[in-house]
Amino acid sequence: MPPAVALPLAIVAAYLVGSIDFAVIVARMHGVDIHQEGSGNPGMSNVLRTLGRVPAAMVFIGDTLKGTIGAAMGMVASGVPDPMVHWAFLTGLAAVVGHCYPIFHRFKGGKGVATGGGVLLFTVPLLAVIEIAIWFLIFFVTRTASIGSMVIVVITVPLLIWQGVSGLALVWVGLIIALVVWRHRGNIKRMVSGSEERVST
């Protein structure tokens, strides 16, 4: 398939995969509308507060897989058997956009951290493992998911450069980071004011 056809198809497909909202699905399995519970955000942290650890783990795995599948679509479409090919980061970005603005859920989605992590898990797995470990460590210490997310935002680009990622791949990751920060703008304001909600589960 010509690249001029393959890449747009991969971007659309990755966006649609990203639009599958596992927080909504898992919550509905438990008879809950996650948009009406807790913070109202359809993400892992709100599911954890509302439904507990096992449902939250299901959401985390599903959201992470969306990023991994989205990035894999880009590599396949490129025809280059290298997970760090920049197309993989571009379609990974499409999956994160789908997660944040899902067409299946009136464009009301989550904040993109786990799905972005899934992109890195496919493209730069060592970096992803390091960041996931750091995120969970910060979360368990602070009980505040957004603090871990913002730390990850700060360290991602230096770690990518350390792993040899450059060029357009860094641009696509930069856009993922910008989107994640934008989706966390309310959390950032609450962190500054000291009113950010913690998870007690």
Q: Are 23 and 59 in contact (CB under 8 A)?
A: yes
User: What was the pLDDT predicted at 68?
Assistant: 97
Q: Which amino acid is at 52?
A: G
Q: For 1-43, where are the alpha helices, taking DSSP H only?
A: 3-18, 22-29
Q: Are 41 and 110 in contact (CB under 8 A)?
A: yes
Cα 191 to chain centroid, rounded = 20
User: What was the pLDDT predicted at 173?
Assistant: 95
Q: Are 179 and 112 in contact (CB under 8 A)?
A: yes
Which pTM does this prediction carry?
Answer: 0.91
User: What was the pLDDT predicted at 93?
Assistant: 98
* DSSP H or E segment with residue 50: helix 44-51
Which whole-number Å values give the CA distances from 124 to 86, 138, 173, 197, 199, in the listed order?
A: 12, 21, 12, 32, 30
Question: CA 89 to CA 167: how far, in whole Å?
Answer: 11
User: What was the pLDDT predicted at 74?
Assistant: 96
Low-confidence ranges of the chain (pLDDT < 70): 199-201
Q: Which amino acid is at 91?
A: T
User: What was the pLDDT predicted at 153?
Assistant: 87
Dihedral sign (CA 114, 115, 121, 127) = negative
Q: For 79-184, where are the alpha helices, taking DSSP H only?
A: 86-100, 113-123, 125-142, 145-162, 168-183
Cα 3 to chain centroid, rounded = 26
| Residues 29/32/38/39 CA torsion (nearest 10 deg) | 70
User: What was the pLDDT predicted at 200?
Assistant: 55
